[in-house]
Amino acid sequence: MRFRCKVVDVSCLNHFTRVVNTITKLTKSCTLRLTVNNLYFIVTDKVANGGVSMWCELCQGNFFDEYQMEGVSADQNDIYLELIPENLTRALKTAQNAKTVKIKLTNRHCPCLTVAVELPSLSSSSRIVTHDIPVCVIPRRLWNDFREPSVPDFDVSIYLPALKTMKCVVERMKNLSNFIVIEANRNGEINLKIDTDLVSVSTHFKDLGNPPWVSDDASQSSTQDRDPSSMAEARVDIRKLLQFLAGQQVNPTKAICNIVHKRMVHFILLHEDVSLQYFIPALA
């Protein structure tokens, strides 16, 4: 297995850093899948067991000036690594004024992602700061555990309001309850509600619009047959929702919420060269 890449363009480096910062805010550990064309950051906690899941996809050609990888074999040209994203974030913090950043898979005392940051210097020679980030190589027999999640058979799909506004609302509600109800319909309305023995609070957003999903699967027929004014809802852990809202630095051009009634909330953040999916299970 071999992997190496190089970033020279400052805007690309900053964009990649923002994506990694977002992943760091969302999870302590994740799987990094490397392919010829894409990188994936994956969290596969079982939603059915109360854990969140995440799938973040990056097109390598939009981030790296050089990119080379060889997987475990010609027919399975992938590399799967388990890593702590915070370690990658720390390495990239030293690269804010870098001339170049090189990342490669190495084998020190253990498998590592080695990040070499070339910094400008007053002298003719450059300074190189190197970070060795320990990783665990995931064997092929476990690869099926990290397949792309399918879009759930949702009851309602809706565009989200401005994420900063939504974050401010949820932050205030967090002081009143550990749980929040997200409900939405096909008329472009979404409500955030908490209900306790002491207080009931609800925030309403209107005219958000609903994505024009074009497919022949069950999701499409499910939403088409539903009364447009009928609300689908999910009660979720408010801390997990706030973690998602507070952590994102992707600056998406579109943010979508799919609700499977009383089962799951599925968020999609779309940027030109990044897509991030986040699944939060509903609570009884």
Please give the Cα distance from 11 to 51 (Å, whole number). Answer: 34
Residue 218: pLDDT band by 50, 70, 90 thresholds? very low
Cβ-based neighbours of 82, under 8 Å, separated by 6 or more: 29, 30, 31, 32, 135, 136, 138
Q: What's the pLDDT score for residue 221? A: 46
32 and 107 together in one domain: yes
Is the C-alpha dihedral spanning 57, 62, 63, 66 positive or negative? Answer: positive
Last residue of a domain, one of 114, 146, 178: 146
89 and 136 together in one domain: yes
Structure tokens at 43: 């969290």
Q: In degrees rounded to 5, what are phi and psi of residue 146?
A: -120, 35
pLDDT (mean) for 83-89? 96
94 and 193 together in one domain: no
120 and 173 together in one domain: no
Q: What's the pLDDT score for residue 216? A: 41
Residue 44: pLDDT band by 50, 70, 90 thresholds? confident
Burial (0-12, 13-18, 19+ Cβ within 10 Å), 269:
buried
Q: What's the pLDDT score for residue 224? A: 58
Residue 219: pLDDT band by 50, 70, 90 thresholds? very low
Range of the structural domain that residue 31 is part of: 2-146
Q: pTM of whole model > 0.95?
A: no
Please give the Cα distance from 193 to 98 (Å, whole number). Answer: 46
Residue 281 lies in a domain: no
Please give the Cα distance from 246 to 168 (Å, whole number). Answer: 9
pLDDT (mean) for 220-240? 80
Q: What's the pLDDT score for residue 21? A: 94
Q: What's the pLDDT score for residue 50? A: 63
269-278 pLDDT per residue, tens: 998 889 999 9
Helix and strand numbers (H, E) in the chain are 5, 18
Residue 47: pLDDT band by 50, 70, 90 thresholds? low
Residues pairing with 137 in the sheet: 81
Q: How many separate domains does the chain show?
A: 2
Please give the share of the chain, as a percent, with pLDDT higher than 90.
74
pLDDT at 151 > cutoff 80: no
For residue 170, give the CATH number of its domain.
3.70.10.10
Please give the Cα distance from 280 to 264 (Å, whole number). Answer: 6
Q: In degrees rounded to 5, what are phi and psi of residue 252?
A: -70, 150
Residue 43 lies in a domain: yes
pLDDT at 213 > cutoff 80: no
Residue 210 lies in a domain: yes
Is the C-alpha dihedral spanning 148, 153, 158, 160 positive or negative? Answer: negative
Residue 89: pLDDT band by 50, 70, 90 thresholds? very high
81 and 6 together in one domain: yes
**Which segments of 27-101 does DSSP mark as H helices, in order?**
85-93
CA atoms within 13 A on the CB side of 237: 11
Residue 215: pLDDT band by 50, 70, 90 thresholds? very low
> Regarding predicted confidence, which is higher, 248 or 32?
32
Buried b (16+ CB within 10 A) or exposed e, 30-66: bbbbbeeeebbbbbbeebeeeebbbbbbbebeebbee
Check if the beta carbon of residue 130 is closer than 8 Å to that of residue 115: yes
Q: Kindly report the average pLDDT of the chain as a whole number.
A: 89
